[in-house]
Structure 1
């Protein structure tokens, strides 16, 4: 993973260098003369996710450098308004530490003015209490916050865009570095294999769910339990400062611009060759969930499904006719599933593989999750978050390890779907059935997908479960579920709405120990058949029951495993959907008369 991240940084982050980092600047303080300084919002303020303008190469000090030698330091050229202008929303006097950082900020500007003379005017401005007070009044009127980052624009140019200060800054930062440890001088870099002096600490990774606001470390050895052979800190996983900078810069950039967030996890991904947005298969799975109405979700799912199939056809037809598109063939994907945990980065999963395999996996995901609705229409394969939500009472209950395992199975069609997904989906379905609540078709879709993928990977060949009812399914548990559905419909036809019917009273027992329950249910069915007023309807139900009984065979199953209970649920659901579908065009009596 570190090698892949380093390669990504080399190819895409040319500005990646120790002592520099991208920063979001919300305020530019514009100097147009010796007496004039105006605060202006920086970047596109109309955006909902406005965070300022991103400057890709800003001077940056790590925490250990900010406090090296017991000196309180600030950053250079860009820092919070509290440090830069002593700004405070409540007009309270700054504390001693903030004042010390402010003085250090000014001193850095004066020291660097030999390399960039324009900085002298900025230092003079910040040293003038009257001008500073006027500037802060304007910032309060603009609703600025003390934690917003600010920098400067002098004579129409951003100081952060200039290269004049770069060499001065590199030299200043080197002056903060401690002498290298003797044992570190001959260690090999984990990434390059070169002899290097290891960086003792690495930059933090920011923006992870569960992580600290200040960031989390991927490679950290601050506790003795993490150290080996008497080595301290970064010597336990030796990387040069340049290598450490590359992998941390790559991860931070990917998390910010190329990642997907689900409860508890952040999924970063990239490709060896650049893929246009319209041909990136992962947004087909992930985009839009949680922000759409029902109709919009259905439409978005259909569009995603069509896009996934279009992309797969594009790859296969190109290979067939020898018209290969470069980024679609011989391309590689990389994906890391990450979480923050008490200041450390938790790598939950790492995947890499061929781009075509990823496209196949996305198509397989949609196909496996296709299921009939209770009204007989088709619910096309849902997006990823809809699948997760269908297996829990509240999406907030989703545990991160479960989300990570489910994502792995979505991206790899040769990986099993976690068994707990089957148990969770079955539980949600059972609760909905027994309480007569809305049955989420995606819960049933997860059951079907789990069973089919297990069958495909274990036995080979085509799976036996389709989106619609399979009257010839050989498993007795599936047929038992069908039989309960027919009994439930028979009761309603005979007695109308009786409140708690056979499903609410018997589903739990029937789906676990059918042999103990179906005898009583069959006797109830005889009573209900006698109550029917239509002879044609009686014959129709008798034929349905007889046909299902023939499929079950001579012996009703005594107990059902988790897999069998899942088949029971699927048989029940698909039988209901089939009867509802036929009800749209014909009644059971009309169907009997037409035979």
Structure 2
């Protein structure tokens, strides 16, 4: 299903002229130089085609005949392009060693080992390139390919130092990827019609392939023995990793080797890998969620509708956009969904039936693991994401725009000075939380335990953490969790809520407020810093101590601010009226979640009252 969807996406990309996707049999590679030949095959120039728009010159990406994996003991050249060790038989390792020896400098043990290995490989790399192209281009009538054939037959690596065209580019030329061009032509040799015919034939692919029915397309044709690397997944090998791989004898069966175990045609393998690499390079269709690298794409009746759907979906997944216009657009979209109106009310190109595909990948040694795979209509995903933000909603809101999934995951990591690192996020939670959001299912219950443990450990009772707790408990209630009541939890302070955990959280916030009122700015640590964990888990052992200390704090407030003391005592009395005078010995995990919500609601209401009083005093000053 995944590979088939990626193959279909590749076919759609080919029809989009703005995608810049590699056609079948080709790949996008980093090329630095172009060797210019005359019709007799002599080198008449070497063009530096690197991108020089920034301070540092970087190789330019060109569409060339497809590359493929090369093991250390097998020498297989690429068609009409390659690095200089294959094309010219010269390497930076050898040339640098020669220069050091000419200066009388000694080589390190590592340099000697590299030099010996490269000297042994160079003749074989060049000979394989020469032999392969002599066989492939034999009988060609194309002028450019004939010039290249003359060049490769007559070239001797010893000529390299004698040709100034190479030397003027310095050491940067060595080991770079190069292509060829016929003098007087604007295009490169591999772009000619004659070359295209050749590199779509098996002789130019560098692969020995058997025919079988492709599991993706159902067509019979040459199958891919080895699938090329996928690059861009965070923390995977820099050289790339594979989704499909059979690199050990234990992975084979019935005498089938490597790709024969799961036959995918060479064309389909190239298509799905090209499409996935394209998505991983895209900033718009690529997001990091914990250790999962997530890509997504849309399938619509035309490219414009698909692009608009991808834009809105990207904004849903990561609404923390610096562009205020886009942020406003997301708020409008969420409001439309809440009112039951179609997204087309926001933009006629947003069609409910547009299909969205989401793939989450995580590194696993030289392979990639599928963290999650979800596909549904744009309308279905929009409703689920809107419900997700609604389940997290608190008053007052701890954020201006809904938080991205990656930011929610940071709340599960240890907080140091109010900051968390993505590397500390538990890996399993990234996939489980993303899957729950995208499917509309229950959030992982382990998320509740994780956040409560973090709050007890670091004392960071942030709005994001409390919102996640509310979301877990809300969905657990609504979707039929055992031992729970139906219905959602309150978004803001609920003075009629009789849940013991919620009331104890409110009481703890009130006692903290009294402490702050008594000690003011002189306070070094509040009761939250010292007692939050114990108060939320074992109330009976902590609250009597806190209440005794509170009497001392109230005595001080009565002397300095008698009106404030009366309102604070009234607040505590109202909570006791619902709670009773007996404290539970312990609270279950769910009730500890209610404790956090009650604490947040009560403490935030205190800040809101303070702001209202400041506004009143300010207005009174203006009237005077």
Q: Scaled by the length of structure 2, what TM-score is found?
A: 0.78
For 2:325 and 2:454, the matched residues in 1 are separated by 28
Alignment pair present for 1:158 and 2:161:
no
Structure 1 residues 172-183: aligned runs within 5 Å: 173=203, 178=208, 180=210
Post-superposition shift, 1:332? 0.8
Match of 1:250 among 266, 269, 275: 275
Residues 47 and 398 (structure 1 numbering): CA distance in 2 closer, same or farther, change over 3 Å? Answer: farther
2:177 aligned partner: 149
1:292 aligned partner: none
Alignment pair present for 1:223 and 2:220:
no
2:417 aligned partner: none
CA contact (8 A) 1:490 1:541 kept: yes
Alignment pair present for 1:392 and 2:397:
no
Mean alpha-carbon deviation: is it higher for 479-488 or for 532-541?
532-541
Alignment pair present for 1:88 and 2:103:
no
Structure 1 residues 337-416: aligned runs within 5 Å: 337-371=360-394, 379-393=400-414, 394-412=421-439, 414-416=440-442
Match of 1:484 among 508, 519, 522: 508
Residues 145 and 461 (structure 1 numbering): CA distance in 2 closer, same or farther, change over 3 Å? Answer: farther
Structure 1 residues 149-548: aligned runs within 5 Å: 149-154=177-182, 155-171=185-201, 173=203, 178=208, 180=210, 188-194=213-219, 198-257=223-282, 258-273=285-300, 274=303, 275-277=306-308, 280-285=311-316, 300=322, 305-311=327-333, 319=342, 325=348, 328-371=351-394, 379-393=400-414, 394-412=421-439, 414-433=440-459, 440-458=462-480, 463-466=488-491, 468-496=492-520, 497-532=522-557, 533=559, 534-548=561-575
Post-superposition shift, 1:229? 4.6
Mean alpha-carbon deviation: is it higher for 107-116 or for 230-239?
107-116
For 1:429 and 1:49, the matched residues in 2 are separated by 49
For 2:435 and 2:175, the matched residues in 1 are separated by 38
Post-superposition shift, 1:545? 0.3
CA contact (8 A) 1:81 1:150 kept: yes
Alignment pair present for 1:23 and 2:28:
yes
Q: How many residues align?
A: 560
CA contact (8 A) 1:365 1:381 kept: no
Post-superposition shift, 1:544? 0.3
For 2:343 and 2:389, the matched residues in 1 are separated by 24
Match of 1:556 among 583, 605, 610: 583
For 2:423 and 2:312, the matched residues in 1 are separated by 26
CA-to-aligned-CA distance 1:472-514 (integer Å, 9 cap, x gap): 3332111111111111121232344343443333222111011
CA contact (8 A) 1:26 1:42 kept: yes
For 1:164 and 1:395, the matched residues in 2 are separated by 51
Residues 191 and 175 (structure 1 numbering): CA distance in 2 closer, same or farther, change over 3 Å? Answer: closer
For 2:257 and 2:393, the matched residues in 1 are separated by 54
Residues 54 and 174 (structure 1 numbering): CA distance in 2 closer, same or farther, change over 3 Å? Answer: closer
Post-superposition shift, 1:365? 3.5
Post-superposition shift, 1:396? 1.6
Residues 21 and 347 (structure 1 numbering): CA distance in 2 closer, same or farther, change over 3 Å? Answer: farther
For 1:192 and 1:169, the matched residues in 2 are separated by 22
Give the secondary-structure state (helix, strand or coil) at the position aligned to 2:294: strand
For 2:473 and 2:314, the matched residues in 1 are separated by 26
Give the secondary-structure state (helix, strand or coil) at the position aligned to 2:613: coil
For 1:192 and 1:362, the matched residues in 2 are separated by 33
CA-to-aligned-CA distance 1:86-119 (integer Å, 9 cap, x gap): 3528634563313432343345555537253214
CA contact (8 A) 2:37 2:180 kept: no
1:101 aligned partner: 125
Post-superposition shift, 1:354? 1.0
Residues 531 and 174 (structure 1 numbering): CA distance in 2 closer, same or farther, change over 3 Å? Answer: closer
Match of 2:47 among 32, 39, 42: 39
5+ residue gaps, structure 2, are 16-20, 99-117, 415-420, 618-624
Match of 2:142 among 112, 116, 120: 116
For 2:384 and 2:58, the matched residues in 1 are separated by 35
1:294 aligned partner: none
CA contact (8 A) 2:298 2:310 kept: no
CA contact (8 A) 2:290 2:406 kept: no
Post-superposition shift, 1:35? 5.2
Residues 50 and 309 (structure 1 numbering): CA distance in 2 closer, same or farther, change over 3 Å? Answer: farther
Alignment pair present for 1:73 and 2:73:
no
2:3 aligned partner: 2
5+ residue gaps, structure 1, are 289-296, 591-595
Give the secondary-structure state (helix, strand or coil) at the position aligned to 1:234: helix
2:67 aligned partner: 60
Residues 177 and 105 (structure 1 numbering): CA distance in 2 closer, same or farther, change over 3 Å? Answer: closer
CA contact (8 A) 2:359 2:370 kept: yes
CA contact (8 A) 1:334 1:352 kept: yes
